[in-house]
């Protein structure tokens, strides 16, 4: 078997993996990155690309501030005892350092956004500015390698182009200026004839593609090798220490010796049916996941084989999802749940949650509900907003529905008729319609307080008063589609310490082995404190792991 010697081997090519690779290189390490699939970027490339970084230096540009104590208080209030306080402190301390280092030394850069923390009722929360959005970049900077980067998730694409979080908010909520934003984006996309000759993808990269694109340009400038089509087969253990791995490169096994360490950043196990059924609470289905299909827990299995302890394996980054026939993944309802006139009901036709709460919270409520739930809305909402697989009627009229849409979305001229189509109690659904009509007039959701927090209102429609999240179900026809407890990745994995070192079942570090991202047990525990709580820790602990492996003082 052929072999190669490096200082640090990084498994995976998402944002956490590439941050680790860049950091290890900048501390003098010879680094190799290996990617299982034929495309760079993993789930990071298909994500929103945001990172949750408390006490970040970008806040000051907006007259904002934060303190480590406030951030730690908020995290402890959200997470409780599921994660040690030492790890929480390590995140709060290192996240802003990682951000500053990456912005100073690489192409990676962000802007702070007024995106509220998800649980603003908790002490220490902020009404924005901890979530950062990657600055858009041109695909031209990647050259031919652009076509080897995983494309965005289909639901983040508007007619071929992606948009930033701030642009998305204005378009989704129909805020002032949204039409001009759409017009400029559509024009720039369609007039880019040279790019249209090569691809339907937009030259302007946003969200996860912008983040991974910036990570890749930074890695390429450093001449860090990245092997695609090179899955991890197993780890090499020598006298209780991980000293490398067997990598199957283009179908041939190769031994990679890693003198300083192996950093696992290969995503979760959400597309491994057996691992889902063994660990996640039911009901569960790989078809409900919104992530690419390569996340099958390979790194989890390899780490466990050398004694790593796996924790939080019953947890995921939940989200209400819908999937059309023949689509390769589901789409999560990230924002439209907060729009007025969009509700979720159970088999009794009754609401049982705050639709405008974070998608993780709504997903967990769905997960705990044994029967299929339904998203319902009327003609007013249908005409004005994009909801699930449907764009507004101006660009996606009912007459143009595909067979896939027809198979999922149901439509009726009456509430009772809709109830019959979707198999829910008609009296219950009619009662729900009466309730939301009353709540819409008063602005107070007496059942679930929808629209009562700054996060709820973030994606509400500001033109609707007195509550931007509430409107009646009054205008026929009425619509519905099923919604499931989907995910944007699992969050259980290798138990790690403050240095991202893998721990064995006795809580002792395994020399030479590190984990970050969804391969590691999440520092966020069972909760989701704010947008970017996946990628923020992935990048931060990738940074921490690389520095520790290279002997730097973190």
Kindly report the CATH number assigned to the domain that includes residue 419. Answer: 3.90.700.10
Residues 231 and 352 in one domain: no
Q: Which residue, of 159, 192, 220, is where some domain finishes?
A: 220
Residues 309 and 338 in one domain: no
Residues 345 and 471 in one domain: yes
- Which alpha helices (DSSP H) does 115-163 contain, by range? none
Residues 204 and 283 in one domain: no
13 found inside a domain: no
Tally of structural domains, the chain: 3
- 186, containing H or E segment: helix 178-191
43 found inside a domain: no
Render pLDDT for 331-352 as a digit per residue (tens, 0 to 9).
999 999 999 999 999 999 999 9
C-alpha distances in Å from residue 305, one per residue of 113, 195, 504, 507: 42, 46, 11, 16
Q: Which residue, of 470, 486, 502, is where some domain finishes?
A: 486
- The dihedrals phi and psi of 533, each to the nearest 5 degrees, come to -75, -10
Render pLDDT for 132-141 as a digit per residue (tens, 0 to 9).
999 999 999 9
- Please answer whether residues 115 and 132 qualify as being in contact, where contact means their C-beta atoms are separated by less than 8 angstroms: no
Q: Which conformational region is residue 12 in: left (phi greater than 0), alpha (psi within -120 to 50 degrees), or beta?
A: left
Residues 176 and 64 in one domain: yes
Angle at 276 between CA 274 and CA 282, to 5 degrees: 120
Averaged pLDDT, 207-219: 97
| pLDDT score of 543 more than 60 | yes
Residues 333 and 299 in one domain: no
- The dihedrals phi and psi of 34, each to the nearest 5 degrees, come to -120, 135
Residues 57 and 78 in one domain: yes
C-alpha distances in Å from residue 237, one per residue of 69, 377, 509: 40, 56, 14
27 found inside a domain: no
Render pLDDT for 139-150 as a digit per residue (tens, 0 to 9).
999 999 999 999
7 found inside a domain: no
Distance, CA of 153 to CA of 157 (rounded, Å): 7
Q: What pLDDT, on the 0 to 100 scale, is given for residue 197?
A: 60
Q: Which residue, of 168, 188, 220, is where some domain finishes?
A: 220
28 found inside a domain: no
38 found inside a domain: no
17 found inside a domain: no
Averaged pLDDT, 368-384: 94
Among 97-106, 157-166, 368-377, 514-523, the range scoring the smallest mean pLDDT is 157-166
Residues 505 and 539 in one domain: yes
Q: What pLDDT, on the 0 to 100 scale, is given for residue 328?
A: 84
Residues 76 and 195 in one domain: yes
| pLDDT score of 169 more than 90 | no
Note down the domain range covering 452: 319-486
Q: Taking all residues of the chain, what is their mean pLDDT, rounded to a whole number? A: 94
Render pLDDT for 433-487 as a digit per residue (tens, 0 to 9).
999 999 999 999 999 999 999 999 999 999 999 999 999 999 999 999 999 999 9
Residues 436 and 347 in one domain: yes
Residues 274 and 308 in one domain: yes
264 found inside a domain: yes
pTM for the full predicted model: 0.94
Can you say how many angstroms the Cα of residue 341 is from the centroid of all Cα atoms in its chain? 25
The CATH number assigned to the domain holding 165 equals: 3.50.50.60
Residues 245 and 146 in one domain: no
């Amino acid at each position: 078997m052929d072999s190669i010697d490096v200082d640090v081997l990084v498994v995976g090519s998402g944002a956490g993996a590439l941050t680790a690779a860049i950091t290890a290189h900048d501390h003098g390490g010879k680094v190799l990155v290996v990617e299982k699939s034929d495309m760079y970027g993993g789930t990071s490339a298909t994500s929103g690309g945001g990172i949750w970084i408390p006490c970040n230096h970008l806040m000051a540009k907006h007259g904002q501030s934060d303190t480590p104590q406030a951030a730690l208080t908020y995290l402890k209030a959200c997470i409780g005892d599921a994660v040690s306080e030492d790890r929480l402190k390590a995140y709060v301390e290192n996240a802003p350092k990682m951000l500053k280092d990456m912005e100073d030394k690489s192409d990676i850069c962000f802007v702070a956004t007024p995106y509220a923390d998800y649980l603003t009722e908790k002490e220490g929360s902020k009404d924005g500015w901890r979530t950062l959005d990657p600055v858009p970049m041109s695909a031209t900077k990647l050259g031919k390698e652009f076509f080897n980067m995983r494309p965005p998730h289909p639901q983040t694409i508007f007619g071929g182009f992606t948009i930033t979080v701030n642009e998305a908010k204005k378009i989704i909520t129909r805020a002032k200026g949204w039409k001009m934003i759409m017009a400029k984006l559509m024009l720039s996309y369609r007039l880019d004839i040279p790019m249209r000759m090569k691809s339907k993808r937009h030259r302007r990269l946003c969200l996860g593609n912008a983040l991974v694109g910036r990570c890749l340009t930074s890695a390429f400038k450093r001449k860090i090798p990245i092997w695609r089509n090179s899955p991890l087969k197993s780890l090499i253990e020598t006298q209780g220490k991980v000293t490398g791995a067997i990598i199957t490169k283009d179908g041939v096994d190769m031994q990679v010796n890693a003198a300083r360490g192996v950093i696992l950043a290969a995503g979760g196990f959400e597309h491994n049916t057996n691992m889902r059924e063994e660990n996640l609470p039911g009901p569960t289905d790989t078809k409900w996941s919104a992530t690419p299909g390569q996340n099958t827990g390979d790194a989890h299995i390899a780490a466990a084989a050398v004694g790593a302890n796996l924790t939080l394996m019953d947890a995921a980054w939940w989200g209400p999802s819908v999937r059309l026939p023949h689509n390769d993944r589901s789409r999560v309802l990230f924002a439209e749940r907060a729009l007025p006139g969009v509700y979720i009901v159970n088999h009794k036709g009754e609401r049982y949650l705050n639709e405008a709460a974070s998608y993780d919270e709504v997903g967990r409520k769905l997960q705990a509900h044994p029967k299929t739930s339904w998203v319902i809305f009327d003609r007013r909402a249908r005409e004005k907003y994009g909801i699930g697989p449907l764009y507004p009627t101006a660009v996606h009229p009912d007459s143009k529905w595909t067979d896939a849409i027809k198979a999922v979305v149901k439509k009726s001229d009456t509430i009772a008729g809709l109830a019959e189509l979707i198999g829910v109690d008609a009296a219950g659904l009619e009662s729900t319609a009466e309730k939301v009509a009353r709540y819409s007039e008063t602005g107070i959701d007496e059942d679930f307080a929808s629209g009562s927090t700054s996060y709820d209102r973030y994606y509400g429609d500001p033109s609707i008063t007195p509550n931007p999240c509430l409107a009646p179900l009054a205008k026929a026809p009425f619509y519905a589609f099923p919604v499931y407890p989907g995910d944007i990745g699992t969050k259980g994995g290798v138990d790690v310490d403050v240095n991202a070192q893998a721990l064995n079942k006795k809580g002792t570090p395994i020399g030479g082995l590190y984990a970050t991202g969804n391969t590691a047990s999440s520092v966020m525990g069972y909760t989701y404190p704010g947008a970017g709580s996946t990628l923020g820790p992935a990048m931060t602990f990738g940074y921490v792991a690389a520095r520790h492996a290279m002997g730097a003082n973190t």
